[in-house]
Amino acid sequence: MRTAEIRTRFLDFFAARGHTVVPSAPLPTPDPTLLFVNAGMVPFKPYLTGERTAPWPRATSVQKCVRTLDIEEVGRTTRHGSFFQMNGNFSFGDYFKREAVAFAWELSTTPVADGGYGLDPDRIWVTVHHSDSEARGIWREVAGLPERRIVARGDEDNFWSMGVPGPCGPCSELYYDRGPSLGREGGPAVDEDRYMEFWNLVFMQYERGEGAGKSGYPVLGELPRRNIDTGMGLERMATLLQGKDNLYEIDETRPILDRAAELASVRYGSDPQADVRLRVVADHVRTALMLLADGTAPGNEGRGYVLRRIMRRAVRSMRQLGYQEPALPELLATARDCMAPGYPEVTESYARISDQACGEEDAFRATLKQGTTVLDTAVSQVKKDGGRTLPGAQAFLLHDTYGFPIDLTLEMAAEQGVEVDREGFTALMDDQRERARADARARKSGGTADTSALRALLDANGPTDWRAWDTLTTESRVLGVLGATGPVPVARAGEIVTVVLDRTPFYAESGGQDSDAGRISGAGAEAEVLDVQRPLPGLVAHQVRVTAGELAVGDSVVAAVDPEWRLGARQAHSGTHVLHAALREILGPTALQSGSYNRPGYLRLDFPWRGALSPTVRGEIEEAANRALRGDLPVGVRWMTLPEAKQIGALALFDETYGEKVRVVEIGGAWSRELCGGTHVAHASQIGTVALTAESSVGAGMRRVEAAVGIEGFGYLARERDLVSRISDQLGSPRGELPERIAGLLDRLKAADRENARLKSEATTVRAAELAAGGVDANGSLVVTTTVRGTAADARALALAVRDRLPTGQAGVVAVATEDGGLVVTLNRPAKEAGLDASALVKRLLNGRGGGSAQIAQGGGVPRDRLRQVLADVPRVASTN
């Protein structure tokens, strides 16, 4: 039975028994404690914990899951994978143990012809918690199981909780006996390879308190509403029903494994080590496909790093199998075909998935080539010195300079029998992070803000009354002034300090928007606002330069934002939203913003995309943005809950922390709808214009677009117009004919360059022949010396040309100097075989400077007045080398 049919039968079975079919949630989860959904119950967690009322009394789903805690074990065991699917049925205060057991037994043992899975009832074993006599009795009554196949186990195996105070309860697991060829007799307590777990029934009936581990907490009492949470491993059921030894050989993974074996020209089953690598490839490629399909992009932190690590392990495993070409284009297409029956979105999004994956593989192949050489050299040195541990500094160098992740260093070192000083590496990483934090703190506060002093101000006065959305001016009071060494009572003209006010209209840098500029004025002081930050939640700090008088704690002041600055900031921030919507309109919904920055007149936006945007596409994006401006789309702000924002399609980094209510900024309604705390225009036409000025790469699979906005955008377009006018005048061509005219000029220049190169090559050949014929004898070696006008590359080309024209069989030395003090020395094969060394010759001629190989070397820095003497010394030095 194919995996897709197992999935369908499960959902159909429970739908027929009153369960609402709930689609799988995306793998990235908004749960702040998780990177990815790692169990079927995760999307239902608010209902199971009682935080929210479930919209249905009973539900069923097939949930996509990713677990990477034991990623190194993938491929080594028969039943664990990084991506898996969990079939589940859930009851929210509706049915309980008897019904859950009856459903599981019925679906598992009903014949295939009648809609079940057809498992042999006599080969099913179950486990129960040692205290759960009720479950034991139900299994005897409902399934007719004998006592010997109902195994009692302890808290570690058969008592469930989420690891924190809340719901908990005993569970009962179903196992299938796969036969004596796979292990010992005696049930799951004896051998969990032979007896494979395929379904877990969790009976949530108690509430637990604080405590560690699986049993180090008190059970506080019964829950007011008892729930059921079950999980059947789809891959494990496929393993059983398809008669396979492990989950890597089922229909959704075996074709990937076979394609990998075909590419690498190896046979699965012939070499245990190769088999592990093939299974790693099959598992990881499928996992990467599903993560990419759900919008995760490779990166250096969090989810992106998990995906990057999985993809790199797959690529490296293929290289270890002997396949040196790009592997993901072939393997991902196979994985797509395997998963499409259950997840058609992998086909719909495949162009984007493939682009991102191929870009990541290309970047990693370059990293792997450089880093492997460095690592191999370092490991060889460790072994040569009689050690077994690679220094932490070397691992840090690989990470910091060559982009080699530590987990890859650990794996590759272990393969060569060498450990890594992980503590030393961690210490260096911590030092680097602390330096980065200190630098960021210094840049954010201008080096003047004392965090402890700011905390004291926040504790004493409460949060800043922040009015940036409502006004440009506030009457305020100075709560604190901080200098370079801490709090000060007063700041005088010329000093740069950090000022905290009780209320402020200034926008603090956040959400990609730069901070406001403006002034703080009092009866006896004037100060220019240089920067505004939120160093602590709820506190706004202003970095200012006092321009006149004295600014003291307790002063009454007027805080005023520069209106022109704020106008430009609003235009740029709204322009960023407009450009983001235009990107998605032209490139598709996968062109999601992954970072942005905007200030008056300028914006930039990063998004995942592989390959440069063509001029045509850039023009379409710019046109879509300005069409929104010409349409004067309304800009509105709405407050709502995060689930409501998600429901209406608002875009955001949903893994970030938000309050109970979120601020949604809309431009043209659903055309642009994003969570945002920035300042915006009231109508799109107020942005003025959006003029794309640049598009570039900012990493593997990531692009950046930049634009000028508002009056700066019009200025940019005016400068472009003037530039075109000047070029048109200089070339004497109408503007419309400039592209063809310039293309013609470039073709002529390229033709002239080719002709010059040909003539230069011919001249070099003629001169080389003349020089080779005029060499002088130096103790049996023919020595040729000369000077060339040009670069070191010209000298090298002439030296090699002369060397190749020296008489066959006679040792020859060629030395060519450049007028700017460079020297190239090369030897022919007989000279090298006679013991001469080009690198040694250069060093003797230049007093230790220069170097290269034994056959060709070079140096520089020879004073012009010594060039003639250096060349004159070549025969003598060559004859005594």
Residue numbers belonging to the annotated binding site:
573, 577, 676, 680
Alpha-carbon gap, residue 475 to 473, rounded angstroms: 7
Which neighbouring-strand residues pair with 66? Answer: 83
Q: What are φ and ψ of residue 685, in 5° steps?
A: -65, -25
Contact 85, 287 (CB under 8 A): no
Contact 395, 374 (CB under 8 A): no
The two counts, helices (H) then strands (E), for the chain are: 25, 34
Contact 395, 379 (CB under 8 A): no
CA-based nearest residue to 87, from 169, 166, 170, 19: 19
Q: Are strands 812-818 and 781-788 parallel, antiparallel or unpaired?
A: parallel
C-alpha distances in Å from residue 828, one per residue of 497, 772, 810: 70, 12, 9
Buried b (16+ CB within 10 A) or exposed e, 439-473: eeeeebbbebbbeebbeebbeebeebebbbeeebe
Taking the mean position of all CA atoms in its chain, how far away is CA 263? Answer: 27
Alpha-carbon gap, residue 428 to 398, rounded angstroms: 12
Buried b (16+ CB within 10 A) or exposed e, 221-249: eebeebbbbbbbbbbbbbbbbbebebbbb
Q: What are φ and ψ of residue 334, in 5° steps?
A: -65, -45
C-alpha radius of gyration, the chain, whole number: 36
Contact 425, 391 (CB under 8 A): no
Q: What are φ and ψ of residue 707, in 5° steps?
A: -150, 150
Helix (H) or strand (E) holding 620: helix 615-630
Alpha-carbon gap, residue 592 to 294, rounded angstroms: 12
Helix (H) or strand (E) holding 498: strand 496-501
**What ranges in 447-562 are assigned the alpha helix state H?**
451-461
Angle at which helix 867-880 crosses helix 838-845, to 10 degrees, equals 130
Tally the residues of the chain: 881
SS3 58: strand
Residues 6+ apart with CB under 8 A from 332: 285, 288, 289, 350, 353, 354, 357
Contact 602, 572 (CB under 8 A): yes
Alpha-carbon gap, residue 868 to 354, rounded angstroms: 60
Residue ranges for the binding site for Zn(2+)?
Answer: 573, 577, 676, 680
Taking the mean position of all CA atoms in its chain, how far away is CA 46? Answer: 29
Strand ordering across the sheet containing 702-709: 595-599, 602-608, 702-709, 690-697
Helix (H) or strand (E) holding 167: strand 166-177
Tokens coding 668: 């043209």
Tokens coding 30: 């908004």
